[in-house]
């Protein structure tokens, strides 16, 4: 009888520990930082850039083209590929062009022959 009662007490404690261990985890509630709070946006409204009319180019575009075409000409002078200038885009001269000119030629595809 003593063995049966100690076995029952052991099973009771084991069952108690099992119930306590398998319960729902206690976790702190963390507020969602990405949640839209519904309040007004703190940033003011930005004015949209004035669209460029057809045939009209910004004043800086001419200067940029002249500066970047000069860089393209210099790069073409050092080109050893033997390809004709009308087949080489200026954007291919990545080592010789400044990042601004490289971006200009990517947005305005220009062949090296157009800069001569």
What is the residue extent of each domain of the chain?
Answer: 59-115
Task: Supply the DSSP symbol for 111.
Answer: B
Q: Is 58 helix (H, G, I), strand (E, B) or coil?
A: coil
17 φ, ψ (degrees, to nearest 5):
-65, -40
Please state at what angle helix 99-107 crosses helix 59-77, rounded to 10 degrees: 110
In which band, very low, low, confident or very high, does the pLDDT at 91 lie, cut at 50, 70 and 90?
very high
> Measuring CA to CA, how many Å separate 82 from each of 25, 86, 103?
72, 12, 25
Question: Which residue has better confidence, 81 or 11?
Answer: 81
Residue with structure tokens 């393209």?
A: 72
In which band, very low, low, confident or very high, does the pLDDT at 88 lie, cut at 50, 70 and 90?
very high
pLDDT computed for residue 46 by the predictor: 54
Q: Is the pLDDT of residue 16 over 60?
A: yes
Q: Is the pLDDT of residue 86 over 60?
A: yes
Per-residue burial over 41-66, b = 16 or more CB atoms within 10 Å of its CB, e = otherwise: eeeeeeeeeeeeeeeeeeeeeeebbe
Q: Write down the mean pLDDT value for the chain.
A: 78
State pTM to two decimals.
0.47
Could you report the per-residue pLDDT of 2-13, keeping only the tens digit for each?
888 888 888 877
pLDDT computed for residue 40 by the predictor: 58
Beta-carbon-side half-sphere exposure of residue 59 (alpha carbons within 13 Å): 0
Could you report the per-residue pLDDT of 24-72, keeping only the tens digit for each?
766 777 777 776 665 555 555 555 544 545 544 444 777 889 999 999 9
């Amino acid at each position: 009888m003593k063995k049966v009662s100690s076995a029952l007490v052991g099973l009771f404690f084991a069952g108690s520990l099992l119930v306590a261990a398998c319960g729902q985890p206690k976790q702190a509630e963390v507020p969602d930082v990405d949640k839209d709070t519904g309040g007004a946006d703190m940033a003011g409204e930005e004015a949209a850039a004035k669209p460029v009319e057809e045939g009209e180019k910004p004043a800086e575009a001419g200067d940029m083209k002249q500066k970047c075409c000069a860089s393209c000409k210099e790069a073409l002078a050092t080109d050893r590929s033997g390809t004709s200038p009308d087949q080489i885009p200026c954007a291919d001269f990545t080592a010789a062009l400044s990042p601004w000119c490289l971006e200009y030629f990517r947005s305005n595809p220009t062949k090296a022959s157009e800069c001569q």
